[in-house]
Structure formats: C-alpha cells, structure tokens
Amino acid sequence: MKRIPNLFLSTSLQRKFSRSFFLGILASASLVTTSLAFSSQSYAQTPAVNNSVNNTDITSYAQAVLAMETPRQQAFDEIKKLIGGGEIPKIICHDSNSINNLPRRVQDIAVNYCEDSKKIVERNGLTIDRFNKITVELQNDNNLKRQVYNTLIRLQKSPESR
C-alpha cells in the first residue's frame, strides 16, 4: 500500500487518520473472518485458540491485512455495482449455499476474492486457520490490538520492510 504524503496533514490529523485507518483495517479483517471465512471447518469444530501470538505472527498478519485491503475494496465495489441499491449479501467462502445463492457474476467475484485472499495469507506465512484465530483474538485482546496497530503503522512508514 502506498503511503499518503504528509504535506498537508498536521501531526494531530495524521494520528486521527492513522487511528481511523487502523479501525478500517480491523473491520476489514473481521469481515474477512466472519463474512468471507476461509476455513473448511466451522468454529464449533476448531480446537481452542492458542493465545500466544508471537511477533512473527503479528508481522505476517499485518502484512496480509494490508495486502488484502485493496482487493477487498475492489471486490466490494464491483459487487456493490452489480447488486445496485440492494444490500450486499453475506458471503462466506466455505459455505457453498452463500456463494450459490448469489447472481453468477457476483459468485465469480466472491470466489476470486476468497482464493486471492487465501493466497495472500499463505504468502505472508500464515495458515488460514491461524489468520482467523488471530482475528478472533484481536476482538478481545487490547494489547494484541495495540501491537498489530503499531505494526501496521510501521509497515506503512517503511514499505520496503513488507
């Protein structure tokens, strides 16, 4: 993701923008986990969450989320155009009914996004299951949120570290 030039933003506005961006990224990650879930298992069948998220996991998670954001926005915009003024349906990648009930073109966009996101997560060193578990942990662990937030900011400031 390209950095936004700081020419016209004051430090206070930069902080507000960074916080807003982070909340958007977390919302996107939650969307990926809840609406576009990748795992072929349901959470009821998933073993208990491993609460130890190390620095490597945090960096991999942040890199994956940043890499998924642009394709997520593009897929959402395409689906929104095709749906028109209607509500965007809930899309769950591992639920064939949620995909099959969509118009054909929307199905194609959703499937492509799911496949691309899975590749992005794996390319960044995480399994889909681990990515989803970290996303769930983020919702309940403020320390982990802070660590991911700081990592997202660091990655945006130095794109060569991604």
Task: Identify the pLDDT of residue 161.
Answer: 53
pLDDT at 155 over 50: yes
Task: Identify the pLDDT of residue 42.
Answer: 38
Task: Identify the pLDDT of residue 159.
Answer: 57
Instruction: Write the pLDDT tens digit of every residue in 31-53.
Output: 444 444 443 333 433 334 445 89
Mean pLDDT of 143-157: 94
Task: Identify the pLDDT of residue 38.
Answer: 42
Mean pLDDT of 58-85: 92
Looking at every residue in the chain, the average pLDDT score rounds to 76
Could you tell me if 151 and 58 are in contact, meaning their C-beta atoms sit under 8 angstroms apart?
yes
137-142 contact pairs (CB < 8 A, 24+): 137/49, 137/51, 137/53, 138/26, 138/29, 139/30
H/E stretch holding 97: helix 96-100
CA distance 69 to 66: 5
Instruction: Write the pLDDT tens digit of every residue in 3-29.
Output: 444 444 445 545 555 555 555 555 555
Looking at per-residue confidence, does 112 or 92 come out higher?
Answer: 112
Could you tell me if 124 and 67 are in contact, meaning their C-beta atoms sit under 8 angstroms apart?
yes
